[in-house]
Amino acid sequence: MEILFVTTELAPFVKVGGLADVSAALPKMLKTLGHKVTIVMPRYAAFEEAGLLLARRLTPLHLEMGGKTHEVTVYDGRLPSQVELVLLDSPGMFDRAGVYGDRSEDYPDNGMRFALLSRAAAEVVKQRAESGSPPDLVHVNDWPTALVAKYLKDLGVKTPSLLTIHNVAHQGVFPKDLLSAIGLKKEDFTVGGIEFYGQLNYLKQGVISADAVSTVSASYAREIQTEEAGCKLDGVLRAKERITGIVNGVDYGVWNPATDSNIVARYDAEDASNKARCKGALQKELGLSIEEKHPLIVSVGRLVAQKGVDLVVDVIPRILRGSDAQIVVAGEGDDALAAKLERAAEKSGGRVVFIRNAPEAQVHRIFAGADIALVPSRFEPCGLVQLYAQRYGAPPVAHATGGLIDTIVDCESKLETGTGFLFEAPTADLFYAATQRAITAFESDRWPTLRRRVMRLDRGWERAGRQYEQVYRTLVGATAAR
């Protein structure tokens, strides 16, 4: 099959969250499975800064939207994975420091920016169809590219589309007076269309227009169809014939302590002795005392309420009082949370380190040195932190929600089963109790067995790739049968 994969992030070039890792790893796996994959996304400066060779097409796209003509230049390239790349550029739209915004604030013209991206991606599909070589399927991701599905139908393109929701909380809601500017009609502004409490909702329109919808874990697929977790889209989602949940994987070409060039010494599940060297090297790098027998607890991720970082702030003093643990927190995001973490580090007597804007290579070293990883997300569609932590031998402490339920089995007291430590509700008390269970387990002679068990888990992308492959085949077959 030939698949067009439309996204707004791509590791290692442009990364805000887990979408970047998925956008790099899933197309690479699909290519390994024998499919032709082309990633379509904005042309960011980071691509050329990284030395990626791009060829500009002589003929730009001219898109009529709301009585205005937008010119979009198309660039072709190829990733090191041999996945094809099509980059779309429009003056003033994507040549910015951020992807969605700066300083934790969204760009005010995001509604126009990503509508234009989606319209241009749909035009690329239309041109291929008119030339006699249409892709078999278009796979779009989250609200910034969700309108591709709508534009394809408006353009009369019969190529089926799959929308993957990576986080239903982010929906792309904009004022209704943008309707004409993005090329939609008055009749589209209905309860059965893009209208959402008097505004435009890009994700809602994508759910309605896409031929199928998936999300990034089976548990999250069920959760988003409930009033509690659907963020007011639960009814729209329930109206779809089926929401497929496919757990994200780990790209072992990037995240693997047996081959990782970012860490001081390599190790694997069968011989993890070098993990102690990695721990000591991280402690030295961060100015912590070198203590092999004291648990090194880490928290990596965006500093936002969803990730439960405020819970981490709340339990740090208790962890320090109740154990000899050292704590490393790495992340970027909310300034108020960052300030609290900085104060916690200052008061810790050298036992807590907070790193803002940690480089990717340092994140690898953090996982390699970690004994325990904290993942107290209030909700988590899939989560990648727990998967990376498990691969690097750091059992996670996590809230039992979404993809965390699907990827972590709670350890029982004897540590004979389980791959992490779950708690039932996002409260500081329950989070601390689960963390204490993990610290007690670390001090047990059964800890090496648990560490080996979590490192042996198969979290690679092949299983997920084959599941997506099946979804694609079903969609292509259904379209051909019409």
**Domains detected in the chain:** 2-249+462-481 (3.40.50.2000), 275-458 (3.40.50.2000)
State residue 67's pLDDT score.
87
Q: What is the model's pLDDT at position 36?
A: 97
Residue 411: per-residue pLDDT: 98
What is the percent of the chain where pLDDT is above 90?
A: 95
**pLDDT of 141 higher than 90:** yes
Checking if the pLDDT of 104 tops 80, the result is no
- Strand ranges in 335-470 using DSSP code E only, listed in sequence order: 352-355, 372-375, 396-399, 421-423
pLDDT digits (tens, 9 = 90+) for 90-101: 999 998 989 999
Rounded to an integer, the average pLDDT of 209-238 is 97
Is residue 376 reached through a cis peptide bond, with omega within 30 degrees of 0 on the bond before it?
no
- The encoded tokens of residue 160 equal 């089926």
The proportion of the chain whose per-residue pLDDT surpasses 70, expressed as a percent, equals 100
What are the pLDDT digits (tens) for 163-206? Answer: 999 999 999 999 999 999 999 999 999 999 999 999 999 999 99
- The string over 145-175, giving b where at least 16 C-beta atoms fall within 10 Å of a residue's C-beta and e elsewhere, is bbbbbbbbbbeebebbbbbbbbbbebbbbbe
Average pLDDT of 312-327?
98
Are 325 and 295 in contact by the 8 Å Cβ rule? The answer is: yes
Range 265-273 average pLDDT? 97
Give the integer Cα–Cα distance in Å for 296 and 226. 37
Q: DSSP state, 10?
A: B
C-alpha to C-alpha distance for 81 and 90, rounded to whole angstroms: 26
Say which residues have a Cβ less than 8 Å from residue 129's Cβ, sequence separation at least 6.
Answer: 157, 158, 159
pLDDT at 478 over 90: no
Q: String of b and e for 388-424 (b: at least 16 CB within 10 Å)? A: bbbbbbbbbbbbbbbbbbbbbebbeeebeebbbbbbe
Q: Of the candidates 450, 463, 448, 467, which has an alpha carbon nearest to the alpha carbon of residue 409?
A: 450
pLDDT (tens digit per residue) in 35-65: 999 999 999 999 999 999 999 999 999 999 9
pLDDT digits (tens, 9 = 90+) for 330-378: 999 999 999 999 999 999 999 999 999 899 999 999 999 999 999 999 9
The mean of the pLDDT values for the chain is: 96
> Which pLDDT score is estimated for 171?
98
Average of per-residue pLDDT across 137-144:
98
Specify burial of residue 459 (Cβ count, 10 A radius: 0-12, 13-18, 19+): buried
pLDDT at 479 (0 to 100)? 80
For residue 66, the model assigns a pLDDT of 87
Cα separation, 445 vs 452, in Å, equals: 13
- In total, the chain counts a number of residues equal to 482
Q: What's the whole-number mean pLDDT along residues 375-393? A: 97
User: The whole model's pTM is what?
Assistant: 0.94
Structure confidence by residue, pLDDT tens digits, 424-440: 999 999 999 999 999 99
> Environment class of residue 48 by beta-carbon count within 10 Å: exposed (0-12), middle (13-18) or buried (19+)?
middle
Q: Per-residue confidence at 453, pLDDT binned at 50, 70, 90?
A: very high
User: Residue 13 pLDDT more than 80?
Assistant: yes
pLDDT band at 252; cut points 50, 70, 90: very high
Q: Which SS3 state, helix, strand or coil, does residue 285 take? A: helix
For 447, how many CA atoms within 13 A lie in the half-sphere containing its CB? 17
Residue 482 clears pLDDT 80, i.e. is over it: no
With a cut of 90, say whether residue 288 has pLDDT above it: yes
Query: For the residues 130-139, what does the mean pLDDT come to?
Result: 95
Q: Are strands 173-175 and 199-201 parallel, antiparallel or unpaired?
A: antiparallel
Position 241 scores a pLDDT of 87
